[in-house]
Structure formats: C-alpha cells, structure tokens
Chain A
Amino acid sequence: AQSVTQLDSQVPVFEEAPVELRCNYSSSVSVYLFWYVQYPNQGLQLLLKYLSGSTLVKGINGFEAEFNKSQTSFHLRKPSVHISDTAEYFCAVSGGGLSSGSARQLTFGSGTQLTVLP
C-alpha cells in the first residue's frame, strides 16, 4: 500500500517570496511522483513528474521539485511566487515499473492551498 502526506494544508506567502510545499510518501516499491495544480473552479493539471533519472525535476510556471529517496520526500519549490500562483497543489504517487500500467494505482495527497498575498 502507498500513501501521500502533504504536511501543510494552507501556505500563505507574500508575492515574490520563495515557497516550498512539502510532500512525503510511503511505498514499498519504486515510485513515480507527480505534482498537480488546481486553479479555482478548474480541474487539475500536471505541474511536473518524476519517473527516473535526475532527482531535480523542472515543471511549468517556474516550479521545480526534488526527489529524495532516503527521506521519501518530493517537495515542490518556486524561488519567487506570483499572485497567479494562488491555487491548490496536489502531490501524487503511483507504483513505478510494471505496476504503472494505470492510474488505478495513483494515490493523491489531501492538497495544499497556496495563497499569494500582495
């Protein structure tokens, strides 16, 4: 069984400040990791994903995340946020390799609401 913990349910931050949204996971197998973003009244869209290779993953809108296997973490960062980054952010994990055939195995965290203040 796998699980995802997003440690902060709400993160307020001032515009142009850096931000880190934390995500820890537990899994007994190799994993694929994802961050999705949900803007108000919209569905989720993929920000970035880690499948293999470099542990530092760059995504859209200036976001990046680092896979840390020893700490089982996949924290999301941005060096300078904008008002338009205000949204809910979801971390997700699925089993990698042969078990990755479907999002049937995808587990989402409970989300972190990022609010960027002027």
Chain B
Amino acid sequence: EADIYQTPRYLVIGTGKKITLECSQTMGHDKMYWYQQDPGMELHLIHYSYGVNSTEKGDLSSESTVSRIRTEHFPLTLESARPSHTSQYLCASSWGGSGANVLTFGAGSRLTVL
C-alpha cells in the first residue's frame, strides 16, 4: 500500500507553462524530499524539507521551487517549463527518529516538456 502519493503520474506540456507536481504522505513523516531521476543515472536530490516551513536545495541545481506549509504536503513548482526539465520526479519521506534514513517513495511523476 502506498502511503505517499504523487500526482499527476504523467504530464505532457508545452514550453513556458507553469506546472505543480503534488506530493502527499499520510505517515506523519517530518522529512520530505524531491529527487530527479533520468534513465541510467543515479537519483539526484533537488529539494528537501526537515519540517513545516523548512526547505533547502539539494545537490543538483534545479529551477523548481518547493513549499512545506503542512507536514503531509510537499508540492514542487516550475514557473516556466522547458524541454530540459523533462525527467522523472520522485517524492520521498522519512521519519527523523529512525536514525537510518529509510525512505518511502511515491510512484513518481514523469514530466515531458515539448
């Protein structure tokens, strides 16, 4: 059973459009993450959050932005999509008390920008 939900699963849009990828988790996890995944490549962390109103950029530079107004919700926004943003975006969460960084992942949002 998935406890972390991502919508949309697939999105095809034109250049210049604003898009928001939604991510919600029902586990009460305090930490949430966005990863970018391209075929044959490792996952790259682009955003993470330690809790409400706490967000930081990850290792891979990204033009996207995130917000964390509620514990369970961590949306990612691209103000003006470009073909270079075409990728799969994975949302994940973890519980700070676990001490071992075990992530629970959503099913992913595959974005194609034409």
Interface residues of B (CB under 8 A from A): 2, 4, 6, 31, 33, 40-43, 45, 48, 50, 56, 58, 90, 92, 94, 96, 99-103, 105-108
A-B contact count (CB 8 A): 73
CB <8 Å contact, A102 and B40: no
**Among candidates B6, B90, B101, B107, residue contacting A102 with C-beta atoms closer than 8 Å:** B101
B residues less than 8 Å from A94 (CB atoms): 100-101
CA distance A106 to B45 in the complex (A): 9
**Among candidates B6, B40, B50, B96, residue contacting A111 with C-beta atoms closer than 8 Å:** B40
A residues less than 8 Å from B103 (CB atoms): 36, 44, 46, 103, 106
User: Cβ of A105 < 8 Å from any Cβ of B?
Assistant: yes
Query: Assuming A49-B100, A111-B41, what are 19 further A-B pairs, CB within 8 angstroms?
Result: A34-B101, A36-B103, A44-B92, A44-B105, A46-B103, A51-B100, A90-B43, A94-B100, A102-B50, A102-B94, A102-B96, A103-B33, A103-B101, A104-B48, A106-B45, A107-B42, A108-B43, A109-B42, A110-B41
